[in-house]
Structure 1
């Protein structure tokens, strides 16, 4: 209250700096305004900024962690793909070997069948040759007997 009385008192004029009650009153107003601004605006804005920074840092940390997980999964999948390719190559190689084995077996069976058929044909030809030889020998003997009989009769 005394400050208010001092503020209302007459002000002598003429000095470079007038030191009266307005200076402390202005200082109190600045402190009060600073306190009100701090309570009403700066703290809530500061809290929002801090929350946002916390959210950003948390999001960044989560993103880094997820990126590390993705890189690990990518490495695991690359390893699995490499294993699958090797397994597929082994299966293909096995199939080629099996195909080659079956081809050789079929070729050997065909050769054996051809040889057997050739031997049977050779035996049949030999048998027919012997049969024809025997038959011709009989006909030759008969014809020579007929020729001899005719020559002796003439």
Structure 2
């Protein structure tokens, strides 16, 4: 305790605020030495980690951009394929509808032709049966007429 008192009583040495003794170069050497030690122990590893992280981020962003561009190209290709598939499906549907319509018309024409042929054949059969019946009726009428005449002549 006494030493503190002696130092306090000694006061300030002569020379004032900027006294240039061995303290200033010693402090400069300490600052430079501390800078080299901190740089070697802390700042270089942290700088390396930061640079590695920046490199990783840069490569990751570049890869992400490439993958995004590739995904957009694939999406465009798939959309084009989908449009082409839809157009082909529409063409196939249209062709199938046309073919179905053609088959329907052909079947309808065949059915109408068969119906007309059947009707014509039935008309011919009816006409032949009518002619046969009329011929039969005429012959029966002639026989009946002859029979009546014969009976009338026989009765007179």
Q: Same fold per TM (> 0.5)?
A: yes
SS of alignment partner, residue 123 of structure 2: helix
Uncovered stretches (5+) of structure 1, i.e. residues with no partner:
1-11
Structure 1's consecutive aligned runs of 4 or more residues displaced over 4 angstroms after TM superposition are none
C-alpha distance after superposition, 1:64-123 (max 9, x if no partner): 111111111111111111110110000000000110010011001101110110111011
C-alpha displacement of 1:150: 2.2
Query: Separation in 1 of the partners of 2:113 and 2:40?
Result: 106
2:35 matched residue in structure 1? 34
Uncovered stretches (5+) of structure 2, i.e. residues with no partner:
1-11
C-alpha displacement of 1:58: 0.5
1:4 matched residue in structure 2? none
Q: How many residues align?
A: 143
Query: Separation in 2 of the partners of 1:120 and 1:94?
Result: 38
Task: Establish whether residue 53 from structure 1 lines up as the match of residue 54 from structure 2.
Answer: yes
2:104 matched residue in structure 1? 103
2:13 matched residue in structure 1? 13
Output aligned runs, 1:55-134, within 5 Å: 55-134=56-135
2:26 matched residue in structure 1? 25
C-alpha displacement of 1:16: 2.0
Query: Separation in 1 of the partners of 2:125 and 2:20?
Result: 149
Query: Separation in 2 of the partners of 1:19 and 1:120?
Result: 143
Query: Separation in 2 of the partners of 1:121 and 1:27?
Result: 133
- The structure whose RCO (Cα within 8 Å, separation 6+) is larger is 1
Query: Separation in 2 of the partners of 1:39 and 1:55?
Result: 23
